[in-house]
Structure 1
Amino acid sequence: MSFFQKIGNAIVRFMYGRNGMDQMNRALFWGYIAVFFGQVVFSALRLQTPALICEIVLWPLMVLILFRMFSKNLPKRRAENQKFVNWWWGVKSRNAGAKARHADKDHKYFTCKTCGTICRVPVGKGKIIITCPKCGAQIHAKT
């Protein structure tokens, strides 16, 4: 067994039962990279205050990443990760829906003020009263 295989096996044994890199840690890591590049740019432009703020943000972010990576409290880290994944899925689906609604030229979309439901009506019908299918509220609108 070579030297590097022994080191690899030692790392695998050390990480057994620990959290490692999950989706939340990857997002935190990419946030760390973005703040780091911001610090580099601010330092290159000789803007000391923003560079110092970036540096102050970098340290707790790295500590959080390392803490989550090496944590042995797997149920708690998995719950945190699941909350993050659910939130991120909502962000992505809202953006995808908004993009699809923007591309749809045959319909106009209105949001109900009481419940937030998105109602779709055909374009070119003039002034209409839309009844929300979820809560029954009426929306007076012009298509």
Structure 2
Amino acid sequence: MDFLRRFMAGRYGNDQLNAALLVLGLVLIVIEMVTGWGWMGMFILALLILCYFRMFSRNIQARYAENQKFLRWWGPVSTRLHNARMRFADRKTHRYFKCPNCKQRLRVPRGRGKINITCPHCHTQFVRKS
């Protein structure tokens, strides 16, 4: 264990981009097994080599910059996925509407009949059936 700690000293290690690349590699392995596309093996191998290259790299600033660029792209995607999951989880108790003025997403309880909704962002009022 001490050998591994000394070996990794001064190296970049793992980050969110590496984790995403590994998950992508696993998904592609499953797809390759299901479809039988042998040519995907080279692409998967290249992904794994890239992961290990990034992990063992001593150029920490460059790997950090790559990860930050990935996180700037992944942040909005992750937020959308999380919000969609939350909307799906409470679909039986709440409805979601977009404000016609500012497009803000508003959450209201279900089963209240026609209600007057006031957007907390722009204070526009509109009527919808909950």
TM-score (normalised: structure 1): 0.64
| Superposed CA offset, 1:38-71 (max 9, x none) | 212222xxxxxx442x235324422321221122
Residue in structure 1 matched with residue 120 of structure 2 by the alignment: 133
Residue in structure 2 matched with residue 24 of structure 1 by the alignment: 17
Query: Which consecutive residues of structure 1, in runs of 5 or more, have no partner in the other structure?
Result: 44-49
Q: In the aligned structure 2, how far is the partner of 1:17 from the partner of 1:77?
A: 13
**1:119 has 2:112 as partner:** no
Q: In the aligned structure 2, how far is the partner of 1:115 from the partner of 1:67?
A: 46
**1:73 has 2:94 as partner:** no
Q: In the aligned structure 1, how far is the partner of 2:60 from the partner of 2:100?
A: 41
Choose from 22, 44, 48 the match for 1:58.
44
Q: In the aligned structure 1, how far is the partner of 2:122 from the partner of 2:38?
A: 50
Residue in structure 2 matched with residue 94 of structure 1 by the alignment: 83
User: What is the DSSP-based 3-state SS (H/G/I as helix, E as strand, rest coil) of the residue aligned with 2:108?
Assistant: strand
The share of aligned pairs that are identical, in percent, is 35
Residue in structure 1 matched with residue 7 of structure 2 by the alignment: 14
Choose from 88, 98, 108 the match for 2:95.
108
Q: Which has more radius of gyration?
A: 1
Query: Which consecutive residues of structure 2, in runs of 5 or more, have no partner in the other structure?
Result: none
Structure with greater helix share of residues: 1
- Structure 1 counterpart of 2:110, one-letter code: V
User: What is the DSSP-based 3-state SS (H/G/I as helix, E as strand, rest coil) of the residue aligned with 1:102?
Assistant: coil
Q: How many residues align?
A: 127
Q: Pairwise CA RMSD of aligned residues?
A: 3.2
TM-score (normalised: structure 2): 0.68
